[in-house]
Amino acid sequence: MKYGHFDDATREYVITNPQTPFPWINYLGNKDFFSLISNTAGGYSFYKDAKFRRLNRYRYNNVPMDDGGRYFYINDGENIWNPGWKPSKTELDSYECRHGMNYTKIKGEKNGISAEVLFFVPLNTWAEIQKVTLSNTSNEVKKFKFFSYNEWALWNAASDMENFQRNFSTGEVEIEDSVIYHKTEYRERRNHFAYYSVNTNIQGFDTDRETFVGLYNSHANPQVVSAGKPTNSHAHGWSPIASHYIEVELQPGESKDLVFVLGYVENDEDDKWESKGIINKTKAKEVLERFNTAQKVDAALAELKAYWDTILNVFTIDSGDDRLDRQVNIWNQYQCMITFNFSRSASYFESGIGRGMGFRDSNQDLLGFVHQAPKRARQRVIDIASTQFLDGGCYHQYQPLTKRGNNEVGGGFNDDPMWLILGVTSYIKESGDFTILDEMVPFDNDESLAQSMFNHLTISFNHVINNLGPNKLPLIGRADWNDCLNLNCFSNDPNESFQTTENNSEGSKAESLMIAGLFVYYGRDYIELCKLLGKSEEAARAQNEVDTMVKSIKENGWDGQWFLRAYDFYGNKIGSKENEEGKIFIESNGWCTMAKIGNDEGMCKKALDAVKERLDTKYGIVLNNPAYTKYHIEMGEISTYPAGYKENAGIFCHNNPWIMIGETELGRGDIAYDYYTKISPAFIEDIQELHKTEPYVYSQMIAGKDAFKPGEAKNSWLTGTAAWNYAAITQHILGIKPAFKGLEINPCIPKKWDGFKVKRKFRGYTLNIDVKNPNHVSKGVKQISIDDNVIIGDLIPVLEKNKEYAVKVVMG
């Protein structure tokens, strides 16, 4: 069964049945002010930080699912219904939800009244706009009652959900004309408030939840809506809400637009008040003025669309296969922007309370985002590096509001530093801007400790070699990329966090082959960078360290048919044929083959063949095999998941591209592309009922072959899968790869392809790349010409700006 379809011309996913297998959401806003919105208008908004500046209340894992959002109710005298079907669930005559690039349109129709709501956050605006278009599609006059509804969160989303002894007494609102202001705690330590307005006169309002909904009712049947009469309630404590009441009359064929604005304002400390107890609303009024007509709103939407045109114009493919084109040109890039903005903080699987921005996650997210907005990427990588410690270790997470490291989680994840090299080099390769290396960047946010970004990279590189174990392989610390392989945790206490507990770190020998591969891979980038900067001594030193690591991997990290995953606390092997469970893992085999370690000796081919044989499934590549079936205290969280889920033999999509990239290094384009299509949303649209999560984005996990329901996905949207798959397809399969000195072109594609065309904007000029594959090979570039001039090698050097070039590539 299908619940919707892609509309490539409008870059929308169109949902035609509101009862999707899970709420299918979208993200509004792309800087500072954000909202999550489901296909039935559930969700919430926040300013910068989903934990500390939450505007509206959202109850996670609720019954029913996804209850709470921005709801509009229509009471036509006969029926009470919502344009998005929920929460009243009154059957609609028609329903459609269109999720587009940072906007969503939901339209419902019932008994001759149609209500369409456009939701978006205009560029550079701290507000969500909701433009409601009400139309009379019948032949008779329609009179009905229209109610809006929004429930305020008392700012800190965590305490909002637990500190009721205080919260039930603090709520405060102000009402002026058609605007309801939420000003809880504004008097004391907050200089910010929120507001919800409509651009028309209202005939009433409510601001107290219990009065509006009724203590024994639900969102499905609020008593004020059923009664068809507002009470003009004024909230004092308890749970403040904002609801407008509007009486509407429409002639046959007539339409009417209403513009609602849900906004956020910050005032200066000495400019907080208009008069005693009355908040200064000047800034809110400015925003309301900007969006007080439907025309102004439409113009702002057009601006947003134009913004996305420029973002999505940087890399466009014409492959002849709609699925690949929509994936590469639209949805994968869109998801990359979202992961850049949110890291792993706010989705329908991430509460927005627990995790801020991840050090490793955000660096990897840059890989898929940097071409879209290099300046923002530059700032991000500086923010991330500022949370590094002087010894090269890093805070594992930081809060987006304060940009400070999160003490509760701390550091000690030994893969973290190497991802900074990825972040910085990706930025330079895309932009050609080497000046970032001279930026003075603090350590632990302490400006007095600032050193150049280049030094941060050296210190990151050194962190690995300063922390080697008995096999001369990198010590894993708390965990490497696989957060659930906790080799020093040894926890018997269910109240301990696997990630932050180290019951047994003293004298630990636990080592990671994944960090080893990562070190070789990005160590080489570091070396190249040193050479470009004329730092030949440092380059030689680093080369020596990388060579030594390669040697250690070959000597101590090879299991005969594949690469080991790790050594545990006691020095025992993990991911070895000697193990009963978890004989082989994906991560080390990905990174070591990406880095071509032991390629000449046939190690890479053997390892990837073993991955194919043991880990590949119909729905993607599982993380390890056989799955763990009992708790291994010395391995931690990985063995706590039932077999086939998450890091225990689930298809953890983030790491599948590492194998795809490894395959492209071997030149096996058919296998690489087959892996790509197995998890790529546009290619698996037909199994949306089984897959369950949004068919337009990647999910973090798909249940593996040992699971109860193989193929069922979870944790959609916020996953490094987006960035890595974008890198795998564009840089390694299509083979168009930014490099320090230009753009490399070296595709590795399925043999049957005749070729493909890509338009790539790069460093201020445009390349129209036409790849032909007359001999049907997977890899190998016979000739490249730029405007008919043949070049030597596969690097398109840096060209003159503001020009277009025709690049012809012949494979063979």
Whether the bond between 797 and the residue before it is cis, its omega within 30 degrees of 0, is: no
- Site residues for ligand BGC, 359-398, by CB under 6 A, read 360-361
Residue 482 near ligand BGC by CB under 6 A? yes
Residue 565 near ligand BGC by CB under 6 A? no
Residue 174 near ligand BGC by CB under 6 A? no
Binding string, residues 590-629; x marks residues near ligand BGC by CB under 6 A: ----------------------------------------
The closest of 767, 778, 773 to 738, measured between CA atoms, is 767
The closest of 682, 704, 678 to 695, measured between CA atoms, is 682
- Find the shortest distance in angstroms from Cβ 485 to ligand BGC: 8
Q: Output DSSP code: residue 637.
A: G
Stretch that binds ligand BGC, among 479-487, 547-555, 586-594, 657-665 (CB under 6 A): 479-487
DSSP string, 235-247: -BSS-EEEEEEEE
Phi, psi of 770 (to 5 degrees): -120, 110
CA distance 634 to 629: 14
- Find the shortest distance in angstroms from Cβ 622 to ligand BGC: 14
Per DSSP, helices labelled H in 345-495 are 359-369, 374-385, 416-431, 453-465
Q: Which is nearer to ligand BGC, 98 or 565 (CB)?
A: 565
Phi, psi of 142 (to 5 degrees): -115, 130
Q: Which is nearer to ligand BGC, 396 or 692 (CB)?
A: 396
**Residue whose entry in the numeric block shows the structure tokens 């932009």:** 431
Neighbours of 788 (CB within 10 A): 7
- CA angle 498/350/108 to nearest 5° reads 160
Q: Which is nearer to ligand BGC, 319 or 362 (CB)?
A: 362
Residue 662 near ligand BGC by CB under 6 A? no
CA distance 503 to 649: 26
SS3 251: coil
- Find the shortest distance in angstroms from Cβ 209 to ligand BGC: 34
The closest of 618, 759, 756, 731 to 664, measured between CA atoms, is 731
**Euclidean distance between the first and the last CA atom of the chain, given in angstroms as a whole number:** 43
Stretch that binds ligand BGC, among 199-207, 316-324, 477-485, 527-535 (CB under 6 A): 477-485
Q: Which of 49, 483, 568, 706 is catalytic?
A: 483
Q: Which is nearer to ligand BGC, 483 or 794 (CB)?
A: 483
The tokens describing 266, both together, are 């910050």
The tokens describing 362, both together, are 């955000």
Kindly tell me the sign of the dihedral angle through the C-alpha atoms of 357, 360, 365, 367.
Answer: positive
Binding string, residues 327-366; x marks residues near ligand BGC by CB under 6 A: -----------------x-------------x-xx-----
- Find the shortest distance in angstroms from Cβ 433 to ligand BGC: 27
CA distance 165 to 182: 20
Q: Where are the extended beta strands (E) located within 4-162?
A: 4-7, 12-15, 25-31, 33-38, 45-47, 54-56, 71-75, 80-81, 94-99, 103-110, 113-120, 127-136, 142-155
Can you tell me which of 647, 663, 706, 712 binds ligand BGC, judged by CB under 6 A?
647
- Find the shortest distance in angstroms from Cβ 258 to ligand BGC: 40
- Find the shortest distance in angstroms from Cβ 512 to ligand BGC: 12
Residue 481 near ligand BGC by CB under 6 A? yes
Annotation marks residue 322 as catalytic = no
Residue nearest ligand BGC by beta-carbon distance? 483
Q: Cβ(107)–Cβ(115) under 8 Å?
A: yes
- Find the shortest distance in angstroms from Cβ 188 to ligand BGC: 35
- Find the shortest distance in angstroms from Cβ 354 to ligand BGC: 11
**Residue whose entry in the numeric block shows the structure tokens 């107890």:** 277
CA distance 147 to 531: 65
SS3 553: helix
Q: Output DSSP code: residue 109.
A: E
Phi, psi of 269 (to 5 degrees): -55, -40
The tokens describing 552, both together, are 């250690």
- Find the shortest distance in angstroms from Cβ 482 to ligand BGC: 5
Q: Cβ(810)–Cβ(781) under 8 Å?
A: yes
- Find the shortest distance in angstroms from Cβ 685 to ligand BGC: 25
Residue 483 near ligand BGC by CB under 6 A? yes
For binding to ligand BGC (CB under 6 A), which residues are involved? 344, 358, 360-361, 481-484, 647
- Catalytic sites, residue numbers: 483
